[in-house]
């Protein structure tokens, strides 16, 4: 249709994409076989009987934690730099087809170092894919190092120090830090210290907040961790003063519509605060989160929003411009994207 073509052609930025969440069931089974990684026995969890069975299970997540269980098992098949490179390059191919011009990609180093895969192995593979995407598709991209919030803050600090010791923040290999995994019970204040170190070092900061957690997780991330962006953030509508603050400060909210439905944060895309954000002047981008787990890449998410809200071309242009303005690329690249 005309609208689908318009949304496909619209130059898009993706800001909320966990690279480990782009691992498809097919690639997961293939890498498990080549890398000799034992998946759970289908006798214990029938979801692991086949890629098709796993895909079907992905349609029935009951919560963020139910999803995370599969997410951490899935990524256990990734071992070598080449594995991370092919995973990320496959994502870039799909993103290019969907009209993505700039991507800021999360990765979870602790989920790899904890099972004996070195931080540098992960980053080497991802960086190689970024370079190929730049050459082959003119896609610019950044890496955002995420801390797992269900682990102690000391582990996050160690991970931060390892990346800093390699010079990855100062040489641009990693653009900033984020915070993900189980939200409720693991408030952002716990990670205040590492975020202050990042701020002092001029390093960009974002955090998942207000996905399953209430609006206090969002104000906690702003006040304690000095984040410049809020990932998900849909529960900001529960605090009008906070929402007006986020609008006034042009803090980018990275919305993930299909993820929110699949993880039962909302019952349908139409419940998301898209209209409220447009009316209140909250800048936001539309993203896929973990596309291989949630049934859609970025364009599917744009189309789902369009289906639910019937936005005008002008409103879409406003959203796309906000996504560019909220990106962490330099002014020269922003001008080229606008
Ligand atoms: N890790 C990957 N996807 C996530 C999400 N939606 N929320 C928290 N942690 C995540
Ligand atoms: Zn996420």
| Dist. CA 234–CA 211, nearest whole Å | 6
Query: In which residue ranges of the chain is pLDDT below 70?
Result: none
* Minimal-distance CA residue to ligand 1 atom 9: 181
CATH of the domain at 134: 3.20.20.140
Neighbours of 12 (CB within 10 A): 26
231 CA to middle of ligand 1, Å?
9
> Does the beta carbon of 149 lie inside 6 Å of ligand 1?
no
* Minimal-distance CA residue to ligand 1 atom 1: 181
231 CA to middle of ligand 2, Å?
7
Q: What is the pTM of this model?
A: 0.98
Which residue in this structure is represented by tokens 């390892």? 162
Please tell me the predicted confidence (pLDDT) of residue 1.
Answer: 86
- Domain, as residue range, for 135: 2-337
For residue range 198-212, list pLDDT tens digits in order: 999 999 999 999 999
181 CA to middle of ligand 1, Å?
5
Ramachandran category for residue 264: left, alpha or beta (phi over 0 → left; psi -120 to 50 → alpha): left
279-307 exposure pattern, b = at least 16 Cβ within 10 A, e = fewer = ebebbbbbbbbbbbbbbbbbbbbbbbbbe
| Dist. CA 155–CA 183, nearest whole Å | 17
Number of domains the chain contains:
1
Neighbours of 22 (CB within 10 A): 23
Which ligand lies nearest to the CA atom of residue 258 in the structure?
1
């Amino acid at each position: 249709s005309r609208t689908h073509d318009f949304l496909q052609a619209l130059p898009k930025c993706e800001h909320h994409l966990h690279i480990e969440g782009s691992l498809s069931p097919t690639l997961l089974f293939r890498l498990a076989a080549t890398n000799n990684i034992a998946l759970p026995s289908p006798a214990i969890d029938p979801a692991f009987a086949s890629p098709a069975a796993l895909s079907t299970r992905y349609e029935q997540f009951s919560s963020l934690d139910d999803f995370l269980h599969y997410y951490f098992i899935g990524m256990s098949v990734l071992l070598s730099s080449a594995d991370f490179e092919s995973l990320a390059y496959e994502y870039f191919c799909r993103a290019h087809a969907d009209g993505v011009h700039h991507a800021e990609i999360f990765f979870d180093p602790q989920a790899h170092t904890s099972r004996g895969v070195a931080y540098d192995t992960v980053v080497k593979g991802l960086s190689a894919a970024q370079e190929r995407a730049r050459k082959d598709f003119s896609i610019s991209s950044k890496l955002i190092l995420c801390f797992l919030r269900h682990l102690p803050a000391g582990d996050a600090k160690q991970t931060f120090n390892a990346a800093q010791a390699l010079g990855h923040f100062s040489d641009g290999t990693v653009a900033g830090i984020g915070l993900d995994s189980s939200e409720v019970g693991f408030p952002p204040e716990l990670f205040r210290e590492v975020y202050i170190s990042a701020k002092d070092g001029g390093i960009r900061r974002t955090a998942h907040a207000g996905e399953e957690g209430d609006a206090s997780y969002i104000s906690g991330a702003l006040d304690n961790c000095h984040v410049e962006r809020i990932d998900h953030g849909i529960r900001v509508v529960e605090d009008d003063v906070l929402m007006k603050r986020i609008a006034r400060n042009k803090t980018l909210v990275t919305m993930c519509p299909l993820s929110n439905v699949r993880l039962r944060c909302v019952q349908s895309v139409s419940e998301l605060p898209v209209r409220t954000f447009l009316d209140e002047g909250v800048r936001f981008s539309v993203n896929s989160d973990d596309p291989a787990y949630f049934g859609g890449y970025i364009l599917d998410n744009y189309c789902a929003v369009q289906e639910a809200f019937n936005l005008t071309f002008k409103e879409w242009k406003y959203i796309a411009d906000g996504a560019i303005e909220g990106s962490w690329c330099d002014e020269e690249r922003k001008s080229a994207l606008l």
